[in-house]
């Protein structure tokens, strides 16, 4: 069994976040500044080195401009590990 950090659902979530960030024309540094975090925080999320918790997902949705429900739909459509 794979760990949740490398699961298809986690990968789908990360891909969704990166896709939405790029579509919004934002860099990792832009997102980090809006979150009042370091760029390395965003980089570790996007590289899959750490999981995104629900509060972080809500914060990312606010600063990038996506609907959390759309992110959840993407996760649900991914295969389970």
Predicted TM-score (pTM) of the model is 0.89
Q: Residue 81 falls within a domain, yes or no?
A: no
SS (HEC) of 14-29: HHHHHHHHHHCCCCHH
What is the mean pLDDT of the segment spanning 13-25?
98
CATH number at residue 47: 1.10.260.40
Q: Residue 44 falls within a domain, yes or no?
A: yes
For the chain, what is the domain count? 1
Torsion angle, alpha carbons of 54, 60, 61, 64, to 10: -170
Q: Tell me the pLDDT tens digit for each residue of 38-58.
A: 999 999 999 999 999 999 999
Q: Tell me the pLDDT tens digit for each residue of 57-72.
A: 999 999 999 999 999 9
61: domain range?
4-76
Q: Residue 43 falls within a domain, yes or no?
A: yes
* Res 4: pLDDT: 62
Q: Residue 24 falls within a domain, yes or no?
A: yes
Residue 37 has pLDDT above 80, yes or no: yes
């Amino acid at each position: 069994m794979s760990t949740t950090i490398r699961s298809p659902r986690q990968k789908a979530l990360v891909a969704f976040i990166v896709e939405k960030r790029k579509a919004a024309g934002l860099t990792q540094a832009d997102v980090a500044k809006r979150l009042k975090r370091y760029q390395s925080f965003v980089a570790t999320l996007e590289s899959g080195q750490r999981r995104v918790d629900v509060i972080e997902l809500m914060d990312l949705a606010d600063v990038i401009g996506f609907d959390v429900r759309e992110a959840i739909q993407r996760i649900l459509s991914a295969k389970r590990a």
